[in-house]
Amino acid sequence: MLRLGVSVESVRVDELARALEQTGGVRRLTRTPAEGPEEVVLFADVIPSAADATMAVLERFGVAGEDYLLTRLEVVAPSPLSRGPLASRATFAWVEVMGQARANSRPLARYLALIITAGVIAALGVIKGNSILIVGAMAVSPDLLPICAICVAIVGLRWTLARRSLFTLVLGLALVSVVAAIIAALLNLVGLLPADFQVGQGGLGTLARTDYSTVLVALAAGVAAMLSFETRAGAAVGVAISVTTIPASAYLGVAVGVGENGASALVVLFVNVVLLVLSGSLTLWIQRRAAARALAASPTSAEADVMREPTHP
């Protein structure tokens, strides 16, 4: 459930209230006098699937960004998630997903720090043949965020956002490879690597091989990525997404660092990223269409119950 608060001129409040009600997803509008004598603060409950229509109304009325606030409320009871096969429509808000994508499309300092940390751990995992370290690197890596931002940009036809997100992703994966190459080269230079060292030893050679399992895992991970991105469960699902990117990036870097051919790992990385974006975009597209169709239909009894629950601004 979303909660809208908007400051509007008192002479326009009735017109704005009617327009919001006509979206079909805005209920229980209440008014509170603002500090200014000619302004009123309008509060309303908004079904997440009606968020886009609500934003369009505010834009049509020329409401400035500093004059409204749309927040998410945690509904305790009755829960719209617990009833009916289409109950998920009550939780999907495109405007919220787009906002997250914009925030995660840039290579912020925290993103770069985490991706470099993941590169160090993954490099040591590849060098030592230690799968536990590989899993640890996947848990640290934040590459889930730009991947999902790319999917959102594709579905929303926001090509500037797509380019920015792709740059952030490529930069992150490149850093993993560069860090891994530097570590492998330094260890080899000081003689800490065995003379017969070969990248992929210890059973990790599969990181640089593409087969049917690569395709299936990447497609499944893309679905999980998008669902976790929408529900803010990225930390829990990050390992599942990074299993298709971080190990291959680190394998490529280590191979380059010790003078071996890492082209096969590059192919694996490319295939995985393409499939991740494909399945993630398809998942989001299906959800967006389902939300639009659900909004056009009559509200479910669960949504109606939620709308009747008393709230306070």
Using the predicted structure, report yes or no on whether residue 281 has a pLDDT greater than 50.
yes
Contacts of 34 (CB under 8 A, 6+ apart): 7, 40, 41
Q: What is the pTM of this model?
A: 0.79
Q: How far apart are CA 46 and CA 4, in angstroms?
A: 7
Distance, in Å, from the CA atom of 273 to the CA atom of 74, rounded to the nearest integer, reads: 34
Of 113 and 243, more confident: 113
Domains of the chain: which residue ranges?
A: 2-91, 96-293
162 or 295, greater pLDDT = 162
- Which contiguous run of DSSP H or E holds residue 305? helix 301-308
- According to CATH, the topology of domain 2-91 is Alpha-Beta Plaits (3.30.70)
Q: Are 119 and 249 in contact, with CB atoms under 8 Å apart? A: yes
d(CA 199, CA 214): 20
User: Above 50 in pLDDT, residue 89?
Assistant: no
Report yes or no: 175 and 244 within 8 Å, Cβ to Cβ: no
- Give the pLDDT confidence of 241-266 residue by residue, as tens digits: 677 799 999 999 999 999 999 899 99
pLDDT tens-digit series, residues 3-27: 999 998 888 989 999 999 888 888 8
Average pLDDT over residues 98-124: 93
Helix 144-155 vs helix 94-103: crossing angle, to nearest 10: 130
pLDDT at position 310: 40
Question: DSSP assignment of 270-291, as one string?
Answer: HHHHHHHHHHHHHHHHHHHHHH
